[in-house]
Amino acid sequence: MKRTRIDSTVIVLGILILVIAVGAILVATVGRNFFSPGNIRDILTGMSVLGLVAIGQTLVILGASLDLSVTYVMSLASLIAATTMNGNPGNIPWAVTLTLIVCAAIGLANGLIVTVLKVNGFIATLGVGLILQGVLNTNFQGSAGSVPWEFQMVGATVVGPVPVSTMIMIALAVVVWFLLDRTRTGAHLFAVGGDPEVARLSGVRTRPPLIVAHVLCSVSAGLAGLLLASRLGVGSPTVGQQGGYALLSIAAVVLGGTLLLGGRGSIWGTIGGVAIFAVVDNVMSVMQVNPFLKDVVRGVVIVAAVAVYSRRAIIRRRTRFGPGGTRTGGDAAAQAAAPAMAAASQALEAEAEAADTRSATQGGEFR
């Protein structure tokens, strides 16, 4: 009987609904309304920064890479924006443009190191992150710059129960969805993440999609840094690291059903993963749970989700031996064939030794 394959995004949506239902019950026990406009606004606000970073992280993970430099890119972006604006509203366009250009350059460096120098994405982005950390620690001893009130409104304005920052995150998600689902670059990125050698033999240029993914990942982190600067009113050299956004973004992507090995996933699954984290954090904050326990709950959620996805992958994989497999006979057939295979191997070794002996003899005759 053929099993029905359930898309990972649907599973994430089911988990999110379950988490919301449990959260609403728990919040009700302390006399609060989970679905109040204020609480919904808090959840959406908590999604925005992590969502921006996770959207970019989804791209590089789909290409079978990683980006651990995003936290330092966020901190650098907040400082560049705040120091360039320096409290002057007229500097906002130039500051935003400069910040995103610098972030794109960092992403380009990451992409070139991974694709041209063939350095593993984990190591490459870790090294770039350490370089950025050195630059931050050398040039900034604390907060710097000043964000004008007009730009601070980006992080504080709400349209109904939906913050503007969340609208920006959703808009970016739509753009990335279009890139992945409707463009050649997106299709090539999936192909490279699935199997780069097969993609190359199929005529796909493997470098450009991964470079584009790293550039967009750093730009997404830059947007998150701009959002943090608008909320803080200043730039900070540690704002990204303190939030732990590198590992949290990877966790949200994996929770959303994207494979760490690349080649399969969706941007909407990632948004679902971010929403699950935001709901869990909100419920625990409302219930005044020990903040350190949040990490424990996050870890349990991540492990449980990955276990579900792994089991689905194992069930869907057809067995090569046994009933219903691509080969019949199973282990018994393999064991029966073992003596013949061993004899063939010995015959090949004997033939190779004889050939070496003949070559040596002929070499002596020539001498």
Phi first, then psi: give them for residue 244, nearest 5 degrees.
60, 35
Task: For residues 22-36, give the mean pLDDT.
Answer: 93
Question: Sorting pLDDT into bands at 50, 70 and 90, what band is 366?
Answer: very low
Question: Sorting pLDDT into bands at 50, 70 and 90, what band is 115?
Answer: very high
| Mean pLDDT over each residue of the chain, to the nearest integer | 85
Cα 217 to Cα 106: distance, rounded to the nearest angstrom: 10
Cα 204 to Cα 207: distance, rounded to the nearest angstrom: 9
Count of CB atoms situated within 10 Å of the CB of 328: 11
- Picking from 32-46, 225-239, 242-256, 340-354, which range would have the lowest pLDDT averaged per residue? 340-354
Q: Is the pLDDT of residue 123 over 90?
A: yes
Cα 231 to Cα 235: distance, rounded to the nearest angstrom: 10
In the chain the beta strands, taken as DSSP E runs, fall at 158-159, 162-163
Identify whether the C-beta of residue 257 lies closer than 8 Å to the C-beta of residue 62. Answer: no
* pLDDT for the residue numbered 331: 45
Residue 306 burial by CB count (10 A; 0-12/13-18/19+): exposed, middle or buried? middle
Identify whether the C-beta of residue 228 lies closer than 8 Å to the C-beta of residue 238. Answer: no
Could you tell me where the DSSP H helices lie in 287-329?
A: 291-316
**Residues 40, 171, 299, 123: what is their CA dihedral angle, to the nearest 10 degrees?**
-150
* pLDDT for the residue numbered 185: 94
* pLDDT for the residue numbered 9: 82
Q: What proportion of the chain, given as a percentage, has pLDDT over 70?
A: 81
Q: Is the pLDDT of residue 31 over 50?
A: yes
Strand, coil or helix: 258? coil
CA 4, chain centre distance (Å): 27
Which of 66, 65, 55, 62 lies closest to 189 in space, CA to CA? Answer: 62
Residue range 139-183, pLDDT digits in tens: 998 899 999 999 999 988 898 889 999 999 999 999 999 999 999
Task: For residues 67-87, give the mean pLDDT.
Answer: 96
Task: For residues 186-193, give the mean pLDDT.
Answer: 94
Task: For residues 40-65, give the mean pLDDT.
Answer: 95
- Picking from 77-81, 111-115, 242-246, which range would have the lowest pLDDT averaged per residue? 242-246
Residue range 311-344, pLDDT digits in tens: 655 444 444 434 444 344 444 444 554 555 555 5
Count, residues in the chain:
367
Q: Is the pLDDT of residue 353 over 70?
A: no
* pLDDT for the residue numbered 355: 60
Q: What proportion of the chain, given as a percentage, has pLDDT over 90?
A: 65
Identify whether the C-beta of residue 235 lies closer than 8 Å to the C-beta of residue 80. Answer: yes
Identify whether the C-beta of residue 245 lies closer than 8 Å to the C-beta of residue 46. Answer: no
Q: Give me the residues paired with residue 158 across strands.
A: 163
Q: Is the pLDDT of residue 291 over 50?
A: yes
CATH architecture of 27-316: Orthogonal Bundle (1.10)
Q: Is the pLDDT of residue 253 over 80?
A: yes
Which helix (H) or strand (E) segment holds residue 65: the answer is none
* pLDDT for the residue numbered 163: 94
Residues contacting residue 250 through CB under 8 Å, at least 6 positions apart:
57, 61, 66, 260
Identify whether the C-beta of residue 38 lies closer than 8 Å to the C-beta of residue 192. Answer: no
Strand, coil or helix: 162? strand
Task: For residues 2-11, give the mean pLDDT.
Answer: 70
* pLDDT for the residue numbered 320: 40
Count of CB atoms situated within 10 Å of the CB of 359: 10
Domain ranges of the chain: 27-316
Count of CB atoms situated within 10 Å of the CB of 84: 18
Cα 53 to Cα 222: distance, rounded to the nearest angstrom: 9
Task: For residues 53-60, give the mean pLDDT.
Answer: 97
Q: Is the pLDDT of residue 23 over 80?
A: yes
Which helix (H) or strand (E) segment holds residue 82: the answer is helix 70-85
